[in-house]
Amino acid sequence: MKHSIVVVDDHVLLSQAIGGLVEGFEQFTVLYTCKHGQELLEKFKNPKNIPDIVLMDVNMPILNGIETTAQLQEKYPDVKVLALSIEEDETLILKMLRAGAKGYLMKDVKKSELQTALMEVIEKGFHHTNTVTKVLVDSLSEKNNPNSVLKERELEFIKHACTEKTYREIADEMCLSPKTIEGYRNAIFEKLNLRNRTGLVIYAIRNKIFVP
């Protein structure tokens, strides 16, 4: 029996094109297509509409790919989600994988690669391209775990930096020389590859070092 696929993408033309590709594979068949996550969740209320694999766009209106995947993962853990996106954005890829996607394909994927990806997801449970693997490796090395790279004192400084205080004032509060504070800043900029304090603030908030 053929494996069932559902395509979720607000770009109808594209979802149909992908559906066409899938129909060309003898092991797979398209159950239906959806425009966004909410529509998909509606469909799933009828068990007949639950497929083996969901090909999910990341950027969608109403309910985006990340949230949809997370909800699917919780309610229907047997359904494999394969992300499909034009964006090669690191954080997006990571977010999708964290949400539970079994793979992440670029939308300009070749027909044959789509097929092997689908097959691998059925057989191995996942399919990761080189790009994705690289992102994964990077994520655990430097940036992603600030706790390992950043020292206690630096984290403390960062919290102060997410404030209207000047470095001079931060130095006073931490009972250190302004020069030492500068040293912290430089070290952090280097490690995190930042250009200025604004970048640091955004980083701190994204990584929950500082909660606004």
Partner DNA sequence: AAGACACGGGGGGTTTTTCCCGAAAACCTA
Partner DNA sequence: TAGGTTTTCGGGAAAAACCCCCCGTGTCTT
Residue 131 binding partner per list a copy of itself, DNA, none, with a CB distance cut-off of 5 to 8 Å that depends on partner kind: none
- Subset of 51-90 contacting DNA (CB under 7 A): none
Q: CA 156, 157, 159: angle at the middle one, nearest 5? A: 70
Contacts of 54 (CB under 8 A, 6+ apart): 5, 6, 7, 8, 40, 72, 79, 80, 81, 82
> Could you tell me what percentage of the chain is helix, strand and coil, using 3-state DSSP and rounding each to the nearest 5?
55, 15, 30
Give the nearer residue to DNA in terms of CB position, either 134 or 151. 151
Structure tokens at 110: 């070749």
Q: Report the residue from 145, 148, 163, 177 that binds a copy of itself according to the rule CB under 8 A.
A: 163
x/- binding map, residues 174-203, to a copy of itself, per CB under 8 A?
Answer: --------------------xxxxxx-xx-
Taking the CB of residue 140, how many other CB atoms lie within 10 A of it? 10
Residue 47 binding partner per list DNA, a copy of itself, none, with a CB distance cut-off of 5 to 8 Å that depends on partner kind: none
Tell me the CB-side half-sphere exposure of residue 116, using CA atoms within 13 A: 6
**Cα–Cα nearest to 125, from 133, 117, 134:** 117
Instruction: For residue 29, state whether it binds DNA (rule: CB under 7 A).
Output: no
Helix (H, G, I), strand (E, B) or coil at 191: helix
Instruction: For residue 192, state whether it binds DNA (rule: CB under 7 A).
Output: no
Residues in the chain: 212
- Least distance from C-beta 192 to a copy of itself, angstroms? 11
Instruction: For residue 160, state whether it binds DNA (rule: CB under 7 A).
Output: no
Q: Report the residue from 48, 77, 108, 212 that binds a copy of itself according to the rule CB under 8 A.
A: 212
- Subset of 115-144 contacting a copy of itself (CB under 8 A): none
Instruction: For residue 197, state whether it binds DNA (rule: CB under 7 A).
Output: yes
- The DSSP bridge partners found for residue 28 are 3
CA 76, CA 163: separation in Å to the nearest integer? 43
Which residues bind to DNA, rule: CB under 7 A?
151, 153, 166-168, 176-180, 182-183, 185-186, 189, 195-198
Which residues bind to a copy of itself, rule: CB under 8 A?
161-164, 166, 194-199, 201-202, 205-206, 212
